[in-house]
Amino acid sequence: MSRREFLRNMGATAVAGGLLGASQVPRADGASGPKIGYFDPPGGPLADRLDRPWEMTEEEWTEIIGRVQPGRSLKPPHWPQRSRFAVALSFDCDHEVGSLAGGNFAPGPLAWGERGRRVGVPRILDVLRRHEVPATFYVPAVASLIDPEETRRIVGDGHEVGLHGWIHANNSQMDRITEREIMLRARDILEKTSGTDVVGHRSPSFDLSPNTIELVAELGLEYDSSMMADDSCYELLVNGKQSGLVEVPVEWVRDDAVYLSFSRSGARPWLSPNDVFGIFKAELDAAAAERDLFQLLMHPHVIGHRSRIWIIERIIEHAKSLGGAWFGTHAQVARWVRENATVDS
């Protein structure tokens, strides 16, 4: 297997976790599978020798690694109301938009996504309402245009909505001008529909171009939630300089789609809900013991099934039973750590 094939497979694995149909995203070079920016430096002297990584110079890897880096940890000494640990639940409302972005227009896959809107979101809102827990919903702008009422219902229940692309396309497929335009348009739609200021960003499929974080900062957003460099929140550096952004980190290990999203095309473990709950609970227990953040990512079309929705409920109940839990939106978490984190650098 050549390095290019290896990287392509890595990309397909990475993208397959979060949405519908992304593996069908056509690549500019005609090959199948998504083009993943962080594996595939666009243009430049490296473009023609990705299969010869031993030729990479120190100057080149330093430049690539330095584009976006984790800065100092923003783990706070305590959480609001002197709470011991924080719980931040998030739901990526990809719905049928992932299929649209992947060129998969068949009614079957579209219906699979629509289940997220018809069944998943109402069940999730019901659980959150009964337990009086706020959460963050990342909504592609097109999903909000298809059903603006859903966006308004989410905000009406006291939750946050955050940016999740225009049509759930990979940012690394776009040049800087296009990516900026798409991001601005998406924010305008979400703010108009929700009637709130949108301050957070999660990249569709966690796919970031070399420009994404800089653009998120340029738009004046407060945080990103697409990267995995730490369990604690951290500041984001762009080309070695502070971007002003907080990273509220995600992880595949805390993503429901990794364990529960069936895929015909690729090998993927499909775990029982009990196993998934066990993994999430272990992450939660450890975060509480470390007086840190437990962040969780779920998808309405994945977690919203009759046999799975209880996972959210049990996680909330377990967090409350530990004592000292504070539940916040990702925006509230980002603001708290920015203002209260210990300077330890």
165: alpha, beta or left? (left if phi > 0; alpha if psi -120 to 50): left
Q: Does 19 bind Zn ion (CB under 5 A)?
A: yes
Beta bridge partners of 237: 69, 242
Q: Which C-beta is closer to Zn ion: that of 255 or that of 292?
A: 255
Subset of residues 199 to 218 that bind Zn ion, contact rule: CB under 5 A:
204
Question: Least distance to Zn ion from the beta carbon of 61, Å?
Answer: 30
Between CA 119 and CA 121 the distance in angstroms is 6
Which tokens hold the place of 116? 């997220």
Question: Least distance to Zn ion from the beta carbon of 11, Å?
Answer: 15
- Are the C-beta atoms of 108 and 285 separated by less than 8 Å? no
Between CA 238 and CA 247 the distance in angstroms is 12
Q: Which C-beta is closer to Zn ion: that of 33 or that of 162?
A: 162
Q: Does 18 bind Zn ion (CB under 5 A)?
A: yes
46: alpha, beta or left? (left if phi > 0; alpha if psi -120 to 50): alpha
Element (H, E) at 302: helix 300-303
Segment contacting Zn ion by CB under 5 A, of 13-21, 29-37, 234-242, 243-251: 13-21
Question: Least distance to Zn ion from the beta carbon of 313, Å?
Answer: 23
Question: Least distance to Zn ion from the beta carbon of 164, Å?
Answer: 6
Which residue in the set 67, 94, 186, 325 belongs to the binding site for Zn ion (CB under 5 A)?
A: 94
Q: Which C-beta is closer to Zn ion: that of 92 or that of 292?
A: 92
Q: Does 255 bind Zn ion (CB under 5 A)?
A: no
- Are the C-beta atoms of 87 and 326 separated by less than 8 Å? yes
Helix (H, G, I), strand (E, B) or coil at 223: strand
Which residue in the set 76, 92, 160, 308 belongs to the binding site for Zn ion (CB under 5 A)?
A: 92
Q: Does 276 bind Zn ion (CB under 5 A)?
A: no
List residues near Zn ion by CB under 5 A: 18-19, 92, 94, 204
